[in-house]
Amino acid sequence: MVVAQKITLFERSMWIFNTIFHQIFAVVTIFILWTIFYNYMTDSYFTWHMVLATIAYVPLMGEAIILFSSDNVWTRSLDRPTKYWLHGLLLFISAVLVTAGISLMVDHNHGKHFHSTHGWTGLVSWIFVLLSQILGLAAAKSTIFAKIVPPVWIKFLHNFLGILGYVFGIVSLAYGLETRAFTSFTSKDSRTATYCVLGLATFWSLLAAFKSGFGQLKAILKRD
């Protein structure tokens, strides 16, 4: 006889909030992409810079970070190794898209792109994302480097740089939405709403990463 597991009101509430999170990211992504494709030619490097950066930071990177949360509704049934593979795959794809998006914009501006807040925050994000990718690979094989660097240090740095890369990327995206390329076709109210819900969803997606990082830091301090 199978005994049904009792689900608390708190757990149900967290699942509801998590579902709302996914819906917010979907709506924000659709809003940005619809605005881009409706107003710009699809054969433009500038268009695909905006498209690739949006897809990389909003759905892909956000989902990659939150999938370790115990409240994440669509990965609760997955085992830990599968989550690691899925996390790595989503982050790898997002890193490729960010790299391609920045490359297209650099070519579009003939090498002059990083002169604005949007540009340099995007560059900083890209650097942190790539470093996080490298450390993620090292974390997956942390036993190899155990005699040189404690595995918890590698995991903490991977987590920390990943958070920085994601946050700088979202900030860069927000500044991008304030450029003339986007403000010409959207209202101030729609952009304000986008910033608010995107900020809340970003914070929500990072809660599990913050919790994990805090645990890693405690382990490092205890070890020292």
The two tokens of residue 190 are: 């729609």
3: pLDDT confidence band, cut at 50, 70 and 90?
Answer: very low
Q: Do the Cβ atoms of 121 and 172 come closer than 8 Å? A: yes
The two tokens of residue 86 are: 């899925």
Residue 1 pLDDT more than 60? no
Give the whole-angstrom CA distance, residue 222 versus residue 5.
Answer: 36
Residue 174 pLDDT more than 80? yes
Our CA angle for 66, 70, 72, nearest 5°, is 50
5: pLDDT confidence band, cut at 50, 70 and 90?
Answer: low
Give the whole-angstrom CA distance, residue 222 versus residue 175.
Answer: 40
Task: Classify burial at 196, counting beta carbons within 10 Å of its beta carbon; exposed 0-12, middle 13-18, buried 19 or more.
Answer: exposed
Note the residue count of the chain.
Answer: 224
pLDDT in tens, 105-131: 888 776 666 778 999 999 999 999 999
Span 29-41, average pLDDT: 93
pLDDT in tens, 52-93: 999 999 999 999 999 888 888 888 888 988 999 999 999 999
* Average pLDDT score, the chain: 88
List domains and CATH numbers for the chain. 35-223 (1.20.120.1770)
Percentage of the chain surpassing pLDDT 70?
Answer: 95
Give the whole-angstrom CA distance, residue 65 versus residue 62.
Answer: 5
